[in-house]
Amino acid sequence: MRTILLTTLAFCASVLAQSSVVDSFVATESPIAKAGLLANIGPSGAKASGAKAGVVIASPSNNNPDYLFTWTRDSALVYKTVIDQFIRGDTSLRGTIDNYVSAQAIQQQVSNPSGSISSGGLGEPKFNIDLSAFTGAWGSVISPPFMIISQSNSKHIDGPALRSTALITYANWLIANSNTTFVTSTLWPIIKLDLDYVAANWNQTGFDLWEEVQSSSFFTSAVQHRSLRQGAALASAIGQTSVVSGYTTQANNILCFMQSYWNPSGGYITANTGGGRSGKDANTALASIHTFDPTAGCDSVSFQPCSDKALSSLKVYVDSFRSIYSINSGIASNAAVATGRYPEDSYFGGNPWYLTTAAVAEQLYDALIVWKKQGSLEVTSISLPFFQQFSSSVAVGTYASTTSTFTTLTNGVQNFAEGTLAIIAKFTPSNGGLSEQFIKTSGVPTSANDLTWSYASMLTAFASRSGVVPEAWGAKGLVASASCGTSAGAGTVQVTFNVQATTVFGENIYLTGSLDALKDWSPDNAMILSAANYPTWSITVSLPASTSFQYKYIRKFNGAVTWESDPNNSNTTPASGSFTINDTWR
């Protein structure tokens, strides 16, 4: 008995010491992170020289790597953080938010390699900080014969969704504060362009978060789903009822498609449908925290942070880094570790990232918020391995907050989250500056310095730790039909087009055809295929079930368009499931 007591006391002392470290880190880092974030926003940010008003630079680093650009996705996530802080009482941020609104209205209209405002340009991920189009190469996908996939080859179709979500959050505050006129006259035109883009393009493939895989992405699908739900609600609130049905229908389709990412045998959410990787990726934890709706409880249909699927996936993701980073060696198998983007990562040597590690802590803090609010937690057969980290004897069941099991499990989750932030604190330099990554063997910061997204990730994790509850967005009570998970949406199937085609440097293969989803024979809007498995070019598209269609591949090179020879290819989709078509260019 004395041995057990001493062990318990030692554990409690260790937990208290860890929490003390995190308390100190949060107190010190919070103002540094906020100042670091604002320093990277034009026109007056100390490290954002040359950036237009309201433009977020990814990082002041302009060499190895050069991040002195603005990304639609990163900027939206940063400004969602800024808007949330404004709503919680920091009125000094109002001016920079309005600058962001003006900047995005301009950026949406800039023609770029992805197209114009009416032909796909909203999917362009990256611009110069003066809001001119970026026309160089981007992305780290290397595609035979040894070419970096250029910017025009794919899009970040999460950007419009995230931007609309940030602006809808601001719009909702304005409406609540008697400024609906500004919403309808200024915000809604920007928001509607993004929502229309999402509704029309959600079932197209694009580059993932890390600009390396062209496929369907769980993060993208999740944030697109949220944006359309919120968009429909906002449209109703301001009398734009004509779009509500369309947004809601497509949101339902996306929710159905989201079920197909779940890997039941592996117990995790597969981050990407392509790329040849395991699919264990920070993508899924980031999706969970950025689609957190506290009114939805632990709903697994929308993969809420405390849902059994999201928790199981988080464990699988975290565990995949335990043995591949030296700084994680010697850490117990049920304790927090540093995490990166995905275990196969080789970018800058493949290291932990500040923002991905913070996402683990934030998901757990979000889960604790819900469990404490509802006064219970449920252990299912899916989440059992996650909870067994904190109590080896726990069994499937529901545990009220009055039980010792609830206390044991929530304390364990809290300690794991605290341990995750303690790791970040350990590898944050004394000045509080946050780079993109820290080296897996030493913990020394590396890659882009003062990464704006790193700072934003600290602020959102700290807010969650303090129990800040985000706004509801419509996830409560959602239902996906029993047929979801095998097709890309109600009445649709996933069709993969593979075509064998040899190309010259800079030449690419596109697809178009007789359906809306195949861009109605438009060469300008034709969909780029991935050359990841060259000479096989590939794309996966959601098409209507049980439908006959025709299609052709086209080549684009130096502005010239070459159609495949006649006759048209033709096929018919099955009633459900998925379908693969294998062709050879002719």
Give the alpha-carbon dihedral of 216, 221, 227, 232, to 10 degrees.
100
Cβ atoms of 117 and 126 closer than 8 Å: no
* 159 beta partners: none
**Could you please report the per-residue DSSP string of 57-74?**
PS-S-BSSSB--SEEHHH
**Which of the following is catalytic: 29, 124, 158, 211?**
211
Q: How many CB atoms lie within 10 A of CB 384?
A: 17
C-alpha distance from residue 327 to each of 14, 141, 305, 330, 424 (Å):
20, 28, 27, 8, 12
Q: Are the C-beta atoms of 481 and 256 separated by less than 8 Å?
A: yes
Structure tokens that stand for 70 in this block: 């603005």
Question: Residue 374: left (phi > 0), alpha (psi -120 to 50), or beta?
Answer: alpha
β 147-150/137-143 pair status: antiparallel
CB 532 within 8 A of CB 143: yes
What 3-state DSSP class applies to 451? coil
What is the enclosing helix (H) or strand (E) of 400? strand 397-400
Q: The dihedral of CA 360, 364, 369, 374: what is its sign?
A: positive
CB 221 within 8 Å of CB 254: yes
What token pair was written down for 550?
């025709």
Of 208, 212, 293, 299, the catalytic one is 208
Q: 363 near 314, Cβ under 8 Å?
A: yes
CA distances from 8 to 20, 392, 396, 402 (A): 18, 16, 25, 21
Question: Which amino acid is located at 371 in the chain?
Answer: W
Tokens of 390: 């904190």
Query: 64's torsion region: left (phi>0), alpha (psi -120 to 50) or beta?
Result: left
Q: Check residue 131 and give left, alpha or beta (phi > 0: left; psi -120 to 50: alpha).
A: left
Nearest to 214 by CA among 141, 122, 129, 304: 141
β-bridge partners, 458: none
23 given a catalytic annotation: no
Largest CA-CA distance found in the chain, in angstroms, rounded: 85
Q: Give how far the C-alpha of residue 17 lies from the chain's centroid of Cα atoms, to the nearest Å.
A: 33
Asked whether the beta carbons of 530 and 215 are under 8 A apart, the reply is: yes
Catalytic site includes residue 211: yes
Q: Strand, coil or helix: what is 119?
A: coil
Q: Tell me which residues are annotated as active site.
A: 208, 211
